């Protein structure tokens, strides 16, 4: 029997056309933990996150809080799981407040009015992500980091116990990368929210995630604490580039460095002539 509020994937498979996108992927993330999903382009990270969050049917192979996602009706699932997909410009001219307010939707009927408590939960969430001074700014005009934090505030208003994020630090500068990941880690550890996210930066993953899983060609290559998953031999095999890993005195992964060999230099085709 799994822990209450753990996210469990049991032999997740996904086939689209003739391509096997995910093959027998299994994982278990306990409540209040941060899980990083790693792997090269096309490994299946986004596909896995979509199945873990119920965006793609998982046919009883994924459960949250001891209940398969298939057994939740859409509203109940939306109260449990918040999804932050890769940033796309909003087609609506909404301000930050209105975007964050969308987190209330799973908790409201069509006719219900917004209460002072709702307003407070929206303001609190916006404060928690440090955007008080941007409340009425158009969402599209916020910086990438501010938009990302705005979407996390929406997840907070949604009161989701599980937040699933696809490359949440993509496009963010180094300051916002750390700021967003620190925020997610503190939400997990202080509010017992479970966070599952895909990341490309292995150093950030090692620093901010409690557990990692490494996918390659739709298969789970390894999962566990960062120091067990991130070994130079394994990373070299998956990313095809020599790699060195340094550990600190507690054996935590301190630094992952890749050393692209000279043969990675690409000869330009002769058809491309000098200007």
Ligand X SMILES: Nc1ncnc2c1ncn2[C@@H]1O[C@H](COP(=O)(O)OP(=O)(O)OP(=O)(O)O)[C@@H](O)[C@H]1O
Chain residues in the site for ligand X (CB under 6 A) = 16, 19, 21, 39, 41-47
Of 157 and 196, which CB lies nearer to ligand X in the complex structure? Answer: 196
Q: How far is the CB of 20 from ligand X (least distance, A)?
A: 9
Of 44 and 106, which CB lies nearer to ligand X in the complex structure? Answer: 44
Phi, psi of 219 (to 5 degrees): -115, 150
Of 11 and 114, which CB lies nearer to ligand X in the complex structure? Answer: 11
Of 16 and 26, which CB lies nearer to ligand X in the complex structure? Answer: 16
DSSP the chain: -PPTT-EEEEEEEEEETTEEEEEEEEEEE-TT-EEEEE-STTSSHHHHHHHHTTSS--TT-EEETTEEGGGS-HHHHHHHEEEE-S----SS--BHHHHHHGGGGGG--TTPPPPHHHHHHHHHHHHHTT-GGGTTSBGGGS-HHHHHHHHHHHHHHTT-SEEEEESTTTT--HHHHHHHHHHHHHHHHHH--EEEEE-S-HHHHHHH-SEEEEEETTEEEEEESHHHH--HHHHHHHHSS-EEEEE-TTS-EEEEEE---GGGSPPPPTTS---
Q: How far is the CB of 39 from ligand X (least distance, A)?
A: 5
Q: How far is the CB of 81 from ligand X (least distance, A)?
A: 18
Of 5 and 37, which CB lies nearer to ligand X in the complex structure? Answer: 37
Which residue, among 73, 77, 49, 55, has the nearest Cα to 64 in the 3D structure? 77
Q: How far is the CB of 41 from ligand X (least distance, A)?
A: 3
Q: How far is the CB of 186 from ligand X (least distance, A)?
A: 26
Look at the alpha carbons of 245, 247, 251, 253 in this order and tell me if their dihedral is positive or negative.
Answer: negative
Of 20 and 137, which CB lies nearer to ligand X in the complex structure? Answer: 20
Of 21 and 197, which CB lies nearer to ligand X in the complex structure? Answer: 21
């Amino acid at each position: 029997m799994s822990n209450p509020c753990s996210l469990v994937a049991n032999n997740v498979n996904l086939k689209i056309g003739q391509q096997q996108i995910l093959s027998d992927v299994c994982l278990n993330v306990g409540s209040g933990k941060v899980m990083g999903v790693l792997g090269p382009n096309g490994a299946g990270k986004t596909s896995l996150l979509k199945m873990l969050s119920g965006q793609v049917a998982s046919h009883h192979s994924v459960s949250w809080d001891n209940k398969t996602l298939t057994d939740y009706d859409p509203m109940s699932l939306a109260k449990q799981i918040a999804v932050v997909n890769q940033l796309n410009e909003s087609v609506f001219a909404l301000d930050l407040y209105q975007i964050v307010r969308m987190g209330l939707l799973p908790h409201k009927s069509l006719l219900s009015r917004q209460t002072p408590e709702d307003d407070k939960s929206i303001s609190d969430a916006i404060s928690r992500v440090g955007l008080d001074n941007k409340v009425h700014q158009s969402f599209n005009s916020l910086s990438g980091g501010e938009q990302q934090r705005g979407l996390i505030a929406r997840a907070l208003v949604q009161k989701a116990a599980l937040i699933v994020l696809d490359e949440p630090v993509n496009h963010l500068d180094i300051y916002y990368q750390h700021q967003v990941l620190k925020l997610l880690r503190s939400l997990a550890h202080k509010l017992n929210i479970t966070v599952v996210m895909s990341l490309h930066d292995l150093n950030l993953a090692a620093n901010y995630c409690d557990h990692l899983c490494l996918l390659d060609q739709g298969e789970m290559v390894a999962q566990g604490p960062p120091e067990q998953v991130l070994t130079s031999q394994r990373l070299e095999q998956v990313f095809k580039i020599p790699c060195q890993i340094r550990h600190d005195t507690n054996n935590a992964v301190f630094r992952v460095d890749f050393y692209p060999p000279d043969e990675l230099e690409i000869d330009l085709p002769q058809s491309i002539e000098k200007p």
